[in-house]
């Protein structure tokens, strides 16, 4: 299948070589692409394989990750389909692939029908596995809507369910050598002049990411006053962030002096893009939209196509 797709110009496809998609394969895919589209035959076996892939993917999803599912007509596979309709039409099919939440709820609705109790129980069990609190909360609200309840809190109270949500610490989002947030904060602490004259970054105030609240504070402090690293750290001497900032002030980020400004700009662009993707995900899960939300959704779709 992959060879045929490549021959017809779809040269970004991979295959799991006839086995179920493993967690390791999903992790590699999500590190390599902004969006993963899982393609399956449209028969029962294909649907079951897609469901296993969904269960594998759920605990691995991070903010900004997107997984969709594409089902081919009966008796077709990617090889036969691309030969029959060509690259352009095949990619149009990809554009219509359903989102992970759609596939999750549609499958449970087919399985349980009007048995809302069992549907909710199964959905809760799956949603509980999600580490991305943004997606987890959106799915809970979506489930509440489908069950005809006012909110996820109302649903949990009426059904007696408790969903264990991850509880990150205030600076959990800064952990890990390679995270853009950690790098942005470290660069700004070590070189406060990077923040001078920067325009406001309103998206950072709405981005749902552990530890993100620290960066706007630093940007606001450095935007209009020239501080050195010691003066900036002094501003946080009594703050809960003090220990983290002192560590990052000594961290060897391995960015050359001539690349500091460009690298800092890249981290801000990445973080703003994360907000765009989160807002798109939030709007796309809603059942109904106001006129303003419809316009925003269309704009976000255009922006996100430019990011891919």
Average pLDDT of the chain is 84
Between 173 and 263, name the one with better pLDDT: 263
Between 277 and 109, name the one with better pLDDT: 109
Name which of 148, 150, 168, 184 is nearest 62 in CA terms. 168
Q: Is the pLDDT of residue 30 over 70?
A: yes
pLDDT in tens, 218-229: 999 999 889 999
Q: Which long-range contacts (CB under 8 A, 24 or more apart) does 167-176 make?
A: 168/133, 168/210, 168/211, 169/210, 170/210, 170/211, 170/213, 170/240, 170/241, 171/210, 171/211, 171/214, 171/241, 171/244, 172/210, 172/211, 173/209, 173/210, 173/211, 173/212, 174/211, 174/214, 174/244, 174/248
Sign of the four-CA dihedral 270, 273, 275, 281: negative
Q: Is 197 helix (H, G, I), strand (E, B) or coil?
A: coil
In degrees rounded to 5, what are phi and psi of residue 39? -110, 130
- At residue 133, the pLDDT reads 75
Average of pLDDT values for 211-222? 92
Among 10-19, 48-57, 95-104, the range scoring the smallest mean pLDDT is: 10-19
In degrees rounded to 5, what are phi and psi of residue 40? -135, 160
Average of pLDDT values for 86-115? 91
Name which of 226, 149, 241, 238 is nearest 186 in CA terms. 241
Q: What is the DSSP letter of 98?
A: E
Question: What's the rounded Cα separation, in Å, for the pair 191 and 234?
Answer: 15
The separation between the first and the last C-alpha atoms of the chain, rounded to the nearest angstrom, is 23
Name which of 121, 115, 211 is nearest 163 in CA terms. 121
Question: What's the rounded Cα separation, in Å, for the pair 207 and 266?
Answer: 17
Q: Cα dist. 238→214, 235, 245 in Å? A: 14, 8, 12
pLDDT in tens, 231-267: 999 999 889 899 999 999 998 888 889 999 999 999 9
Domains, the chain, with CATH or none:
2-104 (3.40.1360.10), 113-159 (no CATH), 172-307 (1.10.860.10)
Q: Cα dist. 151→21, 147, 211, 302 in Å? A: 34, 10, 27, 30
pLDDT in tens, 117-161: 889 889 988 998 887 777 788 888 888 888 888 888 888 888 877
**Residue-wise DSSP of 13-35:** ----TTSPPPHHHHHHHHHH-SE
- At residue 178, the pLDDT reads 55
Q: Is the pLDDT of residue 305 over 70?
A: no
Q: What percent of the chain has pLDDT over 90?
A: 32
Confidence of residue 168 (pLDDT cuts 50, 70, 90): very low
Question: What's the rounded Cα separation, in Å, for the pair 182 and 172?
Answer: 10
């Amino acid at each position: 299948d992959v060879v045929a797709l490549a021959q017809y110009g779809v040269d970004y496809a991979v295959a799991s070589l006839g086995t179920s998609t493993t967690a390791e394969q999903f992790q590699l895919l999500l590190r390599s692409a902004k969006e993963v589209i899982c393609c399956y035959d449209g028969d029962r076996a294909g649907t079951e394989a897609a469901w296993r892939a969904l269960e594998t993917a759920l605990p691995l999803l991070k903010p900004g990750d997107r997984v969709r599912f594409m089902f081919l007509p009966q008796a077709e596979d990617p090889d036969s389909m691309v030969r029959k309709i060509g690259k352009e039409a095949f990619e149009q099919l990809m554009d219509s692939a359903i989102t992970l939440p759609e596939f999750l709820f549609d499958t449970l609705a087919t399985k349980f029908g009007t048995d809302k109790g069992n549907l909710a129980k199964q959905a809760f069990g799956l949603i509980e596995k999600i580490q991305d609190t943004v997606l987890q909360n959106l799915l809970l609200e979506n489930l509440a809507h489908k069950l005809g309840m006012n909110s996820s809190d109302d649903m949990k109270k009426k059904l007696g369910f408790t969903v264990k949500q991850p509880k990150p610490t205030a600076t959990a989002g800064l952990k890990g050598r390679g995270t853009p947030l950690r790098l942005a904060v470290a660069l700004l602490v070590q070189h406060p002049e990077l923040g001078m004259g920067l325009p406001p970054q309103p998206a950072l105030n709405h981005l749902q990411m552990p530890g993100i609240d620290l960066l706007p504070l630093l940007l606001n402090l450095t935007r209009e006053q020239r501080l050195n690293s010691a003066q900036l750290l002094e501003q946080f001497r009594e703050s809960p962030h003090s220990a983290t900032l002192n560590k990052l002030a000594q961290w060897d980020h391995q960015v050359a002096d001539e690349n500091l400004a460009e690298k800092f700009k890249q981290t801000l662009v990445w973080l703003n893009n994360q907000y765009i993707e989160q807002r798109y995900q939030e709007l796309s899960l809603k059942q109904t939209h106001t006129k303003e939300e419809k316009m925003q959704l269309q704009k976000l779709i255009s922006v996100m196509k430019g990011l891919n």
